[in-house]
Amino acid sequence: MSMSMNVSERRLPFPCVLAFDLGAGSGRAIIGEIVAEGAQGQGKLEITEVHRFPNVPVQIGSHLHWDTPRLLQEIKNGIRKAFQAGFQPESCGIDTWGVDFGLLDQNGELMGIPYHYRDRQTEGLVEEVSALAGPERLFRESGLQFMPFNTIYQLYAMKKAASPKLDNAATLLLTPDLLNYFLTGKRSCEFSMATTTGLYDPGQGAWNRKLMEELGLPGDIFPEPVPPGTVIGELTAEVCAELDVPPIQVVAVASHDTESAAAAVPAASSSFAYLVSGTWSLLGTQMPGPLLTPAVFEQQFSNEGGVDGSFHLLKNIMGLWILQECKRKWEQGSGDSFTFAELVRLAEEAKPLRSLIDPDDLRFMNPADMPEEIRGYCRETGQPEPDSAGGTVRCILESLALRYRQVLEQAEALTGSRFAGLHMVGGGVQNELLCGFTADAIGRPVWAGPVEASAIGNLLVQFRAAGRIKDMREGRELVKSSFPLRTFQPGSPERRAEWARAYKRYLRLAASPIGGRFRSGS
């Protein structure tokens, strides 16, 4: 990773903080140091990975769960390893995916193992809750795209199942808040995570307790949100004794990983579009406040809270999950192991723009056989079925790039902006073929990097909380000076024309009635 150091290469210690960035498949612990370099002593951000670990969900009976105790242990391992490597972090912060949660009883004990957002318990509940409360109202009072895994639908599923956990819950803590609680003993709710639930009203700046009451959900279990950069507390004496470390502070960063990544976008202008690329793709732009117009509702964008009270108008796109699931299925079937680099190389050799899918068709949410779902989609839409791994991967990447164009143009129409290009950050930028396809699809440059954007945004919020940087604008400048960007330009006029024709095909497919998106017509 850019500007990173091996532990053996370290100079004298600089003030540092520790970021835990947990994704759907893995987690990492990253130390950040602001070091002075050059004759003028300008700062550079250097990052060092001290721990990496898998995040594997667990199927128990009919439900899919997160292995939360294991995640807590890995976070403890990361804290221990940081100190063992000679670092002395002033604080730590945790960012994760949104929407999921744990429930505590009146004694502060965790009740059950938290559900995974891909668990099937919420199937059909978007429509059911919309029929009860009204879709326009639900959007107006949450600002969110209708996604079947949003917290509101998970809680409603538990209510329908008469879950005793819900009846006996004293506190609901979203995933990073839950992990912070295990470290500090303090219960809190960070603002950016609150806005992913569907139960926080961004217009009112408060929990929507009236809606909770109407849906039969407990309204007294949600802690009041705190802004990113709030110091939650220190590691408990028990954690310090277990790890043999001092009581460092725990900071509530912009703990939804999308908002942490957005905080690290090295944009030169205050008006920019970004794409956080990973298991999910999140494409959006930063706004001073929520945009709750009928047009935003129709296009099914979300308004998610960010740093300094900002909001991000964005849309969830299925992302590289589709490729990851194909890779898993191929390895399961053949026993052979593929690297992503090998799959990308096979895709480069496949015929371009032969078959396309709508990545946000719900059939790709969590199928048993992802390659077969792709073939089935192509059959049903009269397209050639991909007949090789390379052809399947190319179909996925080209389709994602075309979906990015569609969502980028929708965002421009909603905001009245015209973006010069697209910032791509996150692990997906290591897939250079996807970056190049995206530049071709949108007909504008793509600026790729940094890879570890969520962890870097996490670090920046901690540095600001400690007074090491003045504000997030200074943080973006620090990112620009510390991590090189790679620019991908669209291809020749002939290539652009080929992609323009493919985009028209894609739009027809996306509008076809064969499947269903997160919300029809979105």
The residues annotated with a catalytic role in the active site are 257
Write out the two tokens for 60. 């128990």
CA distances from residue 204 to 49, 140, 208, 296, 340 in whole angstroms, order as listed:
40, 11, 9, 18, 45
Rounded Cα gap, residues 264 and 459, in angstroms: 9
Beta bridge partners of 15: none
Nearest to 341 by CA among 392, 390, 277: 390
Could you tell me where the DSSP H helices lie in 428-512? 432-442, 453-465, 472-482, 493-510
- Extract the tokens encoding 146: 């209708």
Number of Cβ within a 10 Å radius of residue 497:
10
Residue with tokens 């002939």: 494
Q: What DSSP designation does 382 have?
A: T
β-strand pairing of 249-252 with 230-234: antiparallel
Cα–Cα separations (whole angstroms), residue 414 to 57, 359, 410: 37, 22, 6
Number of Cβ within a 10 Å radius of residue 246: 11
Scanning the structure block, which residue is given the tokens 């709750």?
292
d(CA 489, CA 480) in angstroms, rounded, equals: 19
Q: How many CB atoms lie within 10 A of CB 177?
A: 27
Over its C-alpha atoms, the chain yields an Rg (Å, rounded) of: 22
Cα of 152 vs its chain's centroid, Å: 18
- By the 10 Å C-beta count (0-12 exposed, 13-18 middle, 19+ buried), 285 is classed as buried
Measured in Å, how far apart are the chain's first and last C-alpha atoms?
A: 36
Helix axes 389-415, 340-349, angle to 10 degrees: 90
Please say whether the beta carbons of 428 and 281 come within 8 A: yes
- What's the CA angle centered on 252, arms 247 and 253, to 5 degrees? 120
Q: Which of 461, 501, 497 is nearest to 478 (CA)?
A: 461
Q: Do strands 249-252 and 26-37 pair parallel, antiparallel, or not at all (unpaired)?
A: unpaired
State both tokens at 331: 């390895």
Which residue do the tokens 């990773």 mark? 1
